[in-house]
Each structure stands twice: as structure tokens, then as C-alpha cells.
Structure 1
Amino acid sequence: RAAYDYQVAAYRESVLTGFQQVEDNLAAVRILENEARVQEEAVTAAQRSLDLSVTRYKGGVTSYLEVITAQSAALADEVTAVNILGRRMANTVLLIQALGGGWDRSSLPERPECCGKLAKSSGSN
């Protein structure tokens, strides 16, 4: 009887640990989704600022230092967005692992939407 009780307790502990891992990773993914949304707004605002700085520079209203400063801020915001994306991906993998697997690479996007916006738009200026 004691061995049975021990096995039941070990099983319950294993199940509860699994539920805790799933819940922790779900919470992390939700939090990182919110962070990504806020950071995407920051990237968009920084890109608008950069575009305005370039326009002002081309119009002779300001020096190129303003363009460089805006570009630096935009790049910093994009780096932060990419870091958040990396953390989201890592937590999603941990969530899938906590759920028991089932990984299918074909369901992943080819290229994350946040990456490369600044490089594409700055190259055309």
C-alpha cells in the first residue's frame, strides 16, 4: 500500500509540475505578445521620426546629425523588437515542450514581420 501511495504522489507531483510549466510559459508568451505590440508601435514611431528627419534634411532645414540621431533611435527600437521576438520564440518552444512536443516547422513564418523594416526603408533614401 505504501508503494502505491508513493507512486500516486509522484504522479500527482509530475502532473502538477507539468501544469505549472504550461501555465508559466503561457503567461510568458502573453506578456511578450503585449511587449511586442508596444515595441512595434515604438518602431513605427521611430521610423516616422526618421522619415521626417530625412525630409527636413533634404529640405535644408536641419543638419545630418538629426538624421543620424533619429536613425540610431530607430535602430535601437528595432533591435529591442527583434530581442522580444527571440524571447517569444524561445518561450513558445518551451511551451510546446511543456505540452509534450508536436513541433512542425512548416507552420512557422519564413521571415518575422518586424525584422528588416528599417533596412528596407533606409536603403531607398
Structure 2
Amino acid sequence: MTGITKRFPGVIANRDVCLTVLPGEVHAVVGENGAGKSTLMKILYGMQRPDEGTITVRGEPVRFANPGDAIAAGIGMVHQHFMLADNFTVLENVVLGAEPTRRGRLDTQAARTKILDLSE
């Protein structure tokens, strides 16, 4: 993301934020309450639109209309106060929203492989 700015009445939540994440990297966004961390993540996840700036995935500019668009581009988000689906297994909860399927059912082997690939 480059030059991401988000304004709300009376406050600038994010100003000219730039962040590059390469495959295999892990980043942390830290700051005080009200610093704009959640707003930035909501923009990256398609829950809010930036007022300025560009999000680029694999070298191509993208605009996410909703979280489904972000997920399709390979971007997921775990909310700060997330709720697990208590009737699901741990595996099912981890892949929820981007679950690999085969014949209309969860492909557990593909899900395990996907999680292992992401965690390396």
C-alpha cells in the first residue's frame, strides 16, 4: 500500500501510510488506542475505502469492494475480538472464508497443506 489516507469528520485516521509485505514476511502494526491501526486493516481487508492512496497486490493496483475481494486476492484478517465457530474444528476455523473444497466439501488434506505452507 502506498499513500493510504483515511479521514473521518474531525480526525485523520491514517495519513500517507506506506507498507510493503513480501511473501513469507510477518509484520505487526502497533500503536496507542485510536492511532488508526484498525482503520488501516479494514482498508486492506475491503471493509472501508481509503480517501487517498493505492493498494497493490502482486504488482497490480486493486480496489476491494468487500472482504470477499480481499480474500480472493489472498488477504485475510483475524479480528481483534474474533469469535470462533465453536461447532467447527480448529482446522475449519483457520481456513474459514477461504476453505479449499472438493466435491462441495472441505478438502481437509488441501487445508492442512495450505496452513503448513502459510506457516513456513
Q: What TM bracket, shorter-length normalisation?
A: under 0.3
Please state which structure has a larger fraction of its residues in strand. 2
Please state which structure has a larger fraction of its residues in helix. 1
For CA contacts below 8 A with separation 6 or more, give which structure has more relative contact order: 1
Larger radius of gyration: 1
